[in-house]
Amino acid sequence: MRRFHKTAVVLAAAALSIGATGSAFAAAGGAENITSLPASKKDIAVTGTYEQGTASDTVYKVDIEWGAMAFTYKAAAKGSWNTATHKYDNAETAGKWTPAVADGNRITVTNHSNAGVTAELSFAADSSISGLMGIFQVSDSDKTDKSTLSLETADNGKGTDGAGMETSDSAYLVLSGGELGSDTAAGTKIGTVTVTIDKAVTP
């Protein structure tokens, strides 16, 4: 009795083809009759084409927090009269601005977005206060400029179980120049801080 062997069909896997446009061209199928056994076989090419997946939308959420932004102006001190030198000791030539409360001059920006952002900080003195200037620093004592805050994306995998984590940074407003008179009402507006949020610049 003649024994018939099953026909062996070999699938040849072709390398994935990734085109510049990502367009896919579906080839027609085919068919073939096997009439001679057991040595017959048919190789069928398997092809692949790259297709761009759907990108996630960029969602922005940025928090801005600030302190009381209340300052005390201490006028220049004349000092103490020294009868031996006929001069004033510990005299101050200019007045000084200090925050009314600790950290009251701090601005904090927090990014919850899945993209990086920047925060530009600026100060404009009220027209009634001549010579008043405001700059933004790392801290009250560290004079390093910090008028621009760069906040990375919150999609950073730094949270629990691979989730992202918000990014945050702060700067301190430091005032100089200008002065208030003894008849100035407490709480008088002396200027405005503007925080401008924008997309991070991609290198």
Q: Select from 60, 49, 44 the least CA-distant residue to 25.
A: 49
For residues 113 and 119, the answer to whether their CB atoms sit within 8 Å is no
Of residues 34 and 187, the one with the higher pLDDT is 187
Q: What is the pTM (predicted TM-score) of this model?
A: 0.70
State the average pLDDT for the chain. Answer: 85
Whether residues 102 and 173 fall in one domain = yes
Q: Would you say residue 35 has pLDDT above 90?
A: no
Task: Give residue 27's pLDDT.
Answer: 54
Q: Are residues 122 and 145 in the same domain?
A: yes
Residue 161 lies in a domain: yes
pLDDT in tens, 118-175: 999 999 999 999 999 999 999 999 999 999 999 999 999 999 998 999 999 999 999 9
User: What confidence category does residue 13 fall into, taking pLDDT thresholds of 50, 70 and 90?
Assistant: very low
The tally of CA atoms less than 13 A away on the side-chain side of residue 13 is 2
Domain-embedded: residue 54: no
64-89: pLDDT as tens digits: 999 999 999 999 888 899 999 999 99
Domain of residue 91 covers 62-199
Q: How many domains does the chain have?
A: 2
70 close to 99: Cβ distance less than 8 angstroms: yes
The torsion of the CA quartet 79, 81, 82, 87, rounded to 10 degrees, works out to 80
Single-letter code of the amino acid located at 98: T
